[in-house]
């Protein structure tokens, strides 16, 4: 029995979303944002494995942009997916890739200072046992720990911030505030925020000092609203199949329909992906997310770093292919864009690539995010339940 590997490159968009003009970074609409295209044109990009899988063709299909270095005869199948859900965030993208578009509008906090309602701040203080919070504004996670880190060490107050996405993030020093205390605070606060239709509460631990600078650690935790309907993971579970999650997948799906979870920084995750290629059972799904494109380079608007990480990832996928068995399906895709050459620091509304290995070279065309779930389910012989249709 064949297996499936669904690998999400967090934020690796390819432009062309038809509704991009309705989404903004500050006052700048996302019209024209193109993560892969602009990285390739700005700093250059050499990704031979993804190129062979059809990345350049998917880019041209999605947005009309041609990057000659990414165009070669494809040995994989390729397409471009358009999101239906109204959010340009991680849960919306992943849930829809797993067959469940988001049926509601997420709550986002106003771009004011302060931005959180007083009763929510009071609840944070009650759970944290503090007299106040720091931040209380829209901010980049790396910037706000530099701006508020010293005050956090002095007062012990948690640093709370948000973005244009539906998130409530809490940053705290692992050693001074305590990692377990931070995670317990976020877990305790999650039901309140989920009732408000805020998609995620995120624990953002960091270390360091004012003298040496502060840096985030890989021990973040996401507390997401559970999906509103059974996803691909549930469909497979109910059919007696096993689902192995790698990276943020467990958090995004609230561990629903998931048997095992492997976490760590992206370099460790690639090792887990390779290991699972040799260990995963027949009929199983390996569902992976590589987040550092987004967290380390997209939000920080670092196109050179983004290119380096894509090239590193490409080498890892190249090493994965020989480990796959006859009949296996590999799908490489993304959940949204985060153009590191764009204005602002937030995600960009874009189409995403769908690159398939194991079904022969062909164009899959423009497709829906939910078609990814239907395709995986069909490959594994499990009936899909969502709105997508298989591209096999």
pLDDT number for residue 7: 99
222-250 pLDDT tens trace: 898 999 999 999 999 999 999 999 999 99
- Backbone torsions φ then ψ of 203, nearest 5 degrees: -85, 125
DSSP element (H, E) containing 52: helix 48-53
> Do 237 and 372 belong together in one domain?
yes
- CATH number of the domain enclosing 216: 3.30.70.1250
Q: Are 378 and 46 in contact (CB under 8 A)?
A: no
> Do 234 and 346 belong together in one domain?
yes
> Do 274 and 329 belong together in one domain?
yes
Its domain, for residue 175, covers 118-224
Q: Say whether pLDDT at 260 is over 90.
A: yes
- Backbone torsions φ then ψ of 355, nearest 5 degrees: -115, 120
Report d(CA 284, CA 325) in Å as an integer.
13
> Do 216 and 242 belong together in one domain?
no
**Is residue 292 in some structural domain?**
yes
> Do 211 and 238 belong together in one domain?
no
**Is residue 206 in some structural domain?**
yes
Q: Say whether pLDDT at 123 is over 90.
A: yes
Average pLDDT over residues 269-279: 99
- Backbone torsions φ then ψ of 359, nearest 5 degrees: -125, 10
Report d(CA 150, CA 9) in Å as an integer.
34
Average pLDDT over residues 149-177: 96
> Do 212 and 257 belong together in one domain?
no
- Backbone torsions φ then ψ of 111, nearest 5 degrees: -85, 65
**Is residue 160 in some structural domain?**
yes
Average pLDDT over residues 27-45: 98
56-101 pLDDT tens trace: 999 999 999 999 999 999 999 999 999 999 989 999 999 999 999 9
According to DSSP, the β-strands at 28-29 and 24-25 are antiparallel
> Do 237 and 361 belong together in one domain?
yes
How many residues make up the chain in this entry? 392
Q: Say whether pLDDT at 102 is over 90.
A: yes
Report the chain's mean pLDDT, rounded to a whole number. 97
Q: Say whether pLDDT at 26 is over 90.
A: no
Report d(CA 345, CA 340) in Å as an integer.
8
**Is residue 266 in some structural domain?**
yes
**Is residue 349 in some structural domain?**
yes
Residue numbers in the known binding site for Mn(2+) are 10, 294, 299, 335-336, 347
pLDDT confidence bin for 347, thresholds 50/70/90: very high
* Structure letter (DSSP) for residue 140: -
pLDDT number for residue 263: 94
360-371 pLDDT tens trace: 999 999 999 999
Count: domains in the chain: 2
SS (H, E, C) 231-254: CHHHHHHHCCCCEEEECCHHHHCC
> What is the share, in percent, of the chain residues with pLDDT greater than 90?
94
- CATH number of the domain enclosing 91: 3.40.720.10
Report d(CA 134, CA 176) in Å as an integer.
15
Residue numbers in the known binding site are 10, 294, 299, 335-336, 347
Q: Are 253 and 227 in contact (CB under 8 A)?
A: yes
- Is 318 strand, coil or helix? helix
pLDDT number for residue 167: 94
Bond preceding residue 114 cis, omega within 30 of 0? yes
């Amino acid at each position: 029995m064949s297996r499936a590997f669904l690998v999400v490159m967090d934020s690796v968009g390819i432009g062309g979303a038809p509704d991009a003009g309705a989404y903004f970074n500050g006052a700048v609409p996302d019209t024209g944002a193109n993560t892969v295209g602009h990285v390739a044109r700005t700093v250059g990009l050499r990704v031979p494995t993804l190129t062979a899988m059809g990345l350049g063709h998917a880019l041209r299909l999605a947005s009309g942009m041609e990057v000659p270095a990414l165009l070669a005869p494809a040995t994989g199948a390729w397409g471009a997916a358009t999101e239906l859900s109204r959010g340009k965030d991680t849960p919306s993208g992943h849930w829809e890739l797993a067959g469940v578009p988001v049926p509601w509008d997420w709550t986002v906090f106003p771009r004011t200072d302060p931005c959180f309602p007083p009763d929510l701040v009071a609840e944070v203080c009650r759970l944290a046992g503090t007299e106040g919070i720091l931040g209380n504004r829209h901010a980049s996670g790396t910037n706000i720990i530099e701006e508020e880190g010293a005050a956090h060490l002095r007062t012990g107050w948690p640093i709370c911030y948000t973005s244009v996405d539906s998130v409530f993030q809490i940053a705290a020093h692992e050693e001074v505030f305590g990692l377990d205390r931070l995670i317990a605070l976020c877990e305790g606060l999650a039901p309140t925020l989920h009732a408000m239709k805020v998609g995620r509460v995120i624990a953002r631990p960091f270390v360091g000092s004012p003298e040496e600078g502060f840096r985030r650690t890989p021990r973040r935790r996401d507390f997401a609203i559970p999906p509103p309907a059974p996803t691909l993971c549930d469909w497979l579970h109910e059919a007696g199949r096993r689902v192995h999650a790698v990276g943020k997948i467990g958090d995004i799906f609230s561990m629903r329909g998931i048997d095992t979870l492997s976490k760590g920084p992206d370099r460790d995750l690639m090792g887990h992906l390779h290991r699972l290629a040799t260990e995963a059972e027949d009929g199983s799904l390996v569902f992976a997310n590589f987040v550092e494109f987004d967290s380390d380079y997209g939000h920080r608007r670092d196109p050179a770093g983004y290119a380096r990480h894509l090239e590193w990832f490409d080498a890892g996928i190249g090493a994965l292919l020989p480990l796959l068995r006859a009949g296996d399906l590999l799908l490489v895709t993304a959940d949204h864009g985060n153009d590191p050459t764009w204005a602002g620091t937030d995600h960009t509304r874009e189409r995403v690539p769908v690159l398939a290995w194991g079904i022969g070279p062909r164009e899959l065309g423009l497709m829906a995010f939910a078609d990814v779930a239907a395709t995986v389910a069909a490959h594994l012989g499990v009936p899909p339940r969502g709105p997508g249709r298989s591209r096999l």
